[in-house]
Structure 1
């Protein structure tokens, strides 16, 4: 080893290196996980961080109410730092195998009923505002809240009936020299699969065509202005709209789930749904949305026995 350094000192070196290779939003997320979870516990460690210590850390975080997914995200960052330290001979790193309690609940996604979805879309058609339009677009395309906030009129191609998703907006935390601040970031989506083209429904195309002729192509769709709406502001607006329409509480992301569920219910092939959603692989789509109901299970059994005969 060159010399013993604390985990915190290695983190400082790692950040300088990592910042050159990843997107600003990813780097911000890594730093936040380090500051909030890892440095308070492991910052002063100078020897190898043993598996038992990491396992204790995991159980502590579970007791504090952190989800398994969030804890796994924290450990991914930890491993990146430890591998960096080992590569530069600043510490010894032995890969660890962490155990998690069995989760017995079957996680279910929340979606709008068909009745509520029709009610929302019907209301927006009769009460047009640009902010209402955003909800309609999300229900018609499955795009994320950051993507609808970043959508400009030049992304809307009414000649070919498509919407181009190539930007996203998010508010990120910046931690510099111990000072925290937030910054609104307009950037390309995280993965190449998220850059995609989505066909518009006839109703949506009919709604957008008249506007497309008169709007400034550089303006954002939600504001019809040069300044965008940020996700947390739009999320608040959405909640008020749903309350006004007496729709049961549903997270904004539920609009995306509702779009995907309607596609699956309509027997769309899974690969196409996956591409429309911008998922990195089809397994994400299958795990989230493809859960055969009892009728489909019975049909499968009947088909199998008919084949046997």
Structure 2
């Protein structure tokens, strides 16, 4: 075989054999590093034939996972199948992202996320190129929402949703950084709950429970006010969840909005929401009354009775109770009792406030409510803690003879 001169061999090796070969990759063929969030990232950069310098980023839980993803990018770069990341605008990306979210969220959560995306994020930022989005853009978006009359809480939540969307884009290597996470959040003043607006005092609760003893919605209200269960948890309770001998209720499901409309039994809100609650005597008596009321309703309905899940709280023919019906009858009871109008969820706040005021430890109340962490309980009921600090100081005076 013949041989080429050394200079010609160099030229043949340097000449591109295809358009793909015209791309010049950066020295080092990419890099692996650990980010501040603990995840490992791999980055690869190259220069397109037109001189554009492009970069792709991948992420993994381990260095090996990130290296594997980076090797895949290198292979696609060599074969010419690697496209520049983040092509298109934010609106296009959010449209696909919100549809993917549908697969892993409860209907009510997804609907809120879709509404915020459609009404706030896309109008403000949808035309911006995904890779050109900046923290300042996000801050202008939240400031614009507040200036248009939206609350700081709404603007803050819009930023949170965008942060989640861009975290997925960063995970997939479409962007190098999450600008929503870098953007400064709007200033949000913590909303304190107030008696008469958000919850009832212990004295008002006693009046309510007295009136509830003879009202059709009384058993539901009594159990809510004495256990602090969420409305969906109450409406999803089955007679199989009640242990009358032990005086306990076990929360296993919650009544929630279904994808096709209507209601369905779903998993509780959080992992800690699955819990067993010990019943006060008032709640046990209310449930026995509810059993009698339901038996009477079932007999009156005859073959029209529809309850297949043995739900504790149903309408006149055994169907699950809708929130609108509960809202209406609950406020009728408040009017009869001469009490201020509070939301049904206010019974949960009322129960927690009464327990904390009575000296029940914060951890116990947090477990009873099914909060995901004690910090949530502490933040919600800071008003009770302030008064308890004064009580603690008075108790010390009494103990020391002051």
Task: Specify the TM-score bucket, using the shorter chain as the normaliser.
Answer: 0.7 to 0.9
Matching of residue 11 in structure 1 with residue 103 in structure 2: no
What does residue 333 of structure 2 align with? 241
* Distance change >3 Å, CA 119–CA 303, structure 1 → 2: closer
Cα drift, residue 297 of structure 1: 5.9
Structure-2 residue corresponding to 1:145: 231
Distance 2:326 2:168 in 1: 39
1: distance between equivalents of 2:125 and 2:183? Answer: 18
The secondary structure found in structure 2 opposite 1:291 is helix
Residues 182-214 of structure 1, C-alpha deviations (whole Å, 9 max, x = no match): 543431112111111111112322343466588
Given the alignment of the two structures, is residue 85 of structure 1 paired with residue 164 of structure 2, yes or no? no
**Moved segments of 4+, more than 4 Å:** 210-217, 300-304
What CA distance in whole angstroms lies between the structure 2 residues aligned with 1:231 and 1:74?
A: 26
Aligned to 2:174, the other structure's residue is in SS state: coil
| Higher RCO by CA contacts (8 Å cutoff, separation 6 or greater) | 1
Q: CA deviation at 1:264?
A: 0.8
Alignment of 1:155-170 (within 5 A): 155-170=241-256
* TM-score, normalised relative to structure 2: 0.65
- Cα 1:221/1:256, change in 2 over 3 Å: same
RMSD over aligned Cα, in angstroms?
A: 2.9
Aligned mate of 2:208, from 120, 125, 131: 120
Is residue 279 from structure 1 mapped to residue 371 from structure 2 by the alignment?
Answer: yes
Which residue does 1:178 correspond to in 2? none
Query: Structure 1 pair 107/210, CA: closer, same or farther in 2 (3 Å)?
Result: closer
Per-residue Cα deviation, 1:243-298 (whole angstroms, up to 9, x for no partner): 22211121222111110111111111111111000011111112222422273264
CA contact under 8 A between 2:327 and 2:344: conserved in structure 1? yes
183-192 or 261-270: bigger deviation: 183-192
- 5+ long unaligned stretches in structure 2: 1-83, 296-306
Distance in 2 (CA, whole Å) between partners of 1:248 and 1:198 is 28
Asked whether the 8 Å contact 1:163–1:197 carries over to 2, the reply is: yes
Structure 1 position 292 matched with structure 2 position 386? yes
CA contact (8 A) 2:152 2:187 kept: no
Aligned length: 295
Alpha carbons of structure 1 residues 197 and 81: separation in structure 2 relative to 1, 3 Å = same
Structure 1 residues not aligned, in runs of 5+: 175-180
Listed as ranges, the matches of 1:136-285 within 5 Å are 136-171=222-257, 182-209=261-288, 212=291, 218-223=309-314, 225-285=317-377
C-alpha displacement of 1:78:
0.6
2:139 corresponds, among 55, 66, 69, to: 55
